[in-house]
Amino acid sequence: MALGGVGAASADTRWWTAVAERPWAAAVFLAFGAVALGWLSTGPGRGWRPVLARLRLRMFGNPLAATATAGGDGGPVPVAASVELLERSRAWETAVPLIRSGLLEHWEEDGWRILHYAGARHDAGCDCERPVSVVFALDATADLDRPLGQAIRVSVVDQETERVLTAELLGR
C-alpha cells in the first residue's frame, strides 16, 4: 500500500493513462496484488509468521519498549499482553464456557502471573448455575513474541464451598 502511494505521488502521468499505454504491465501488477492480498488475508503459514513478526519489530520497533528497563531484559510484560496470550491458548478455549466476566484481578507470585475471572457452572443436583472463580496462572515473562511453550495452568474454584473442582465435578 505504501509503495503504491509513493508510486502514485511520484508519477508523471495519471494512472488511467499509464494503464492504457501499458495494459500488460498493469494486468501483471494487478494479478500480483490480488495474489498478495489473498495470501495475506488467509494468513501466512507458520514458516512466515516469525519472519513477518521480526520484520514488523525491525520496522516499527517493539510496542512494549516503553516498559523496558535499563537492564535491557524488557521489564515486566504488560497485563494486556498476558491476557491476549491467554485468550489464544487451549486453556482459555477449555474454560471459556464457564467464564462470565472480564478480568477481575491479577497479581504475580513466584514468577507466575495469576488472572482471575468470575464464572458459573451448571449443577445437575439443583438444575441451576453455581458461581465459580476461574483462575489462570501463566509465566509472568511470556508474551506474544516469546510464548515460552504457553505453560498455562487453570483452576476452577466453587465460590460457595471454596473447593477446587475437577473435570468430573464440572460434568466433563
List pLDDT tens digits, range 67-124: 444 334 555 678 888 888 888 888 888 889 999 999 999 999 888 889 999 999 887 7
Return the bridge partners of 146, or none. none
Does the pLDDT of residue 5 top 80, yes or no? no
Rounded Cα–Cα distance for residues 107 and 32 (Å): 49
The answer to whether the beta carbons of residues 78 and 70 sit under 8 Å apart is no
Per mean pLDDT, which range of 92-101, 124-133, 160-169 is the poorest? Answer: 160-169
- SS3 assignment, position 126: coil
| Other Cβ atoms closer than 10 A to 66 | 8
The answer to whether the beta carbons of residues 87 and 102 sit under 8 Å apart is no
Does the pLDDT of residue 146 top 50, yes or no? yes
pLDDT confidence of residue 143: 62
pLDDT confidence of residue 17: 84
Q: What is the mean pLDDT of the chain?
A: 79
Cβ contacts of 48-56, under 8 Å, gap ≥ 24: 53/145
Is this structure's pTM higher than 0.75? Answer: no
